[in-house]
């Protein structure tokens, strides 16, 4: 099955304005799906193309946050991953990596069943 990208279902703004909403969104995905992973990218399509080869076999990639600030997206990823650490497929706490020029996006991968 092809990994589906949902690119336009995101929030914008300062992380303090969106973090609780995104935490609840991730919690909902955790409650209703087999596996969930959070990540960041500056190119959702390219990142989706790379994730489609992941052995987990992700079904959906939801873009949840959009910003021009690399600092904001890294900080938000770390907040979300730390908050849901026991339930995510993330191997590290988030916030690292080199993402090139913005804009930047926080995304959620879902394995339905």
pTM summary value: 0.92
What is the three-class DSSP state of 1?
coil
Q: Is 25 left (phi over 0), alpha (psi -120 to 50) or beta?
A: alpha
In this prediction, residue 78 has a pLDDT band, given cuts at 50, 70 and 90, of: very high
**Residue 34 burial (CB count, 10 A):** 12
Residue 82 confidence (pLDDT):
95
Q: What would the pLDDT profile of 51-72 be if each residue is shown by its tens digit? A: 988 999 999 999 999 999 999 9
**What ranges do the domains of the chain cover?**
4-111
């Amino acid at each position: 099955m092809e990994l589906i990208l949902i690119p336009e279902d995101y929030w914008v703004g300062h992380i303090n304005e969106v973090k609780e909403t995104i935490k609840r969104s991730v919690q909902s995905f955790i409650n209703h799906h087999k596996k969930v992973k959070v990540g960041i990218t500056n190119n959702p399509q390219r990142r989706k193309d790379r994730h489609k080869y992941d052995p987990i076999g992700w079904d959906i990639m939801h873009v949840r946050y959009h910003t021009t600030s690399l600092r904001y997206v890294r900080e938000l990823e770390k907040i979300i991953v730390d908050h849901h650490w026991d339930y995510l497929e993330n191997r590290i706490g988030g916030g690292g990596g080199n993402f090139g020029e913005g804009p930047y996006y926080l995304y959620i991968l879902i394995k339905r069943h």
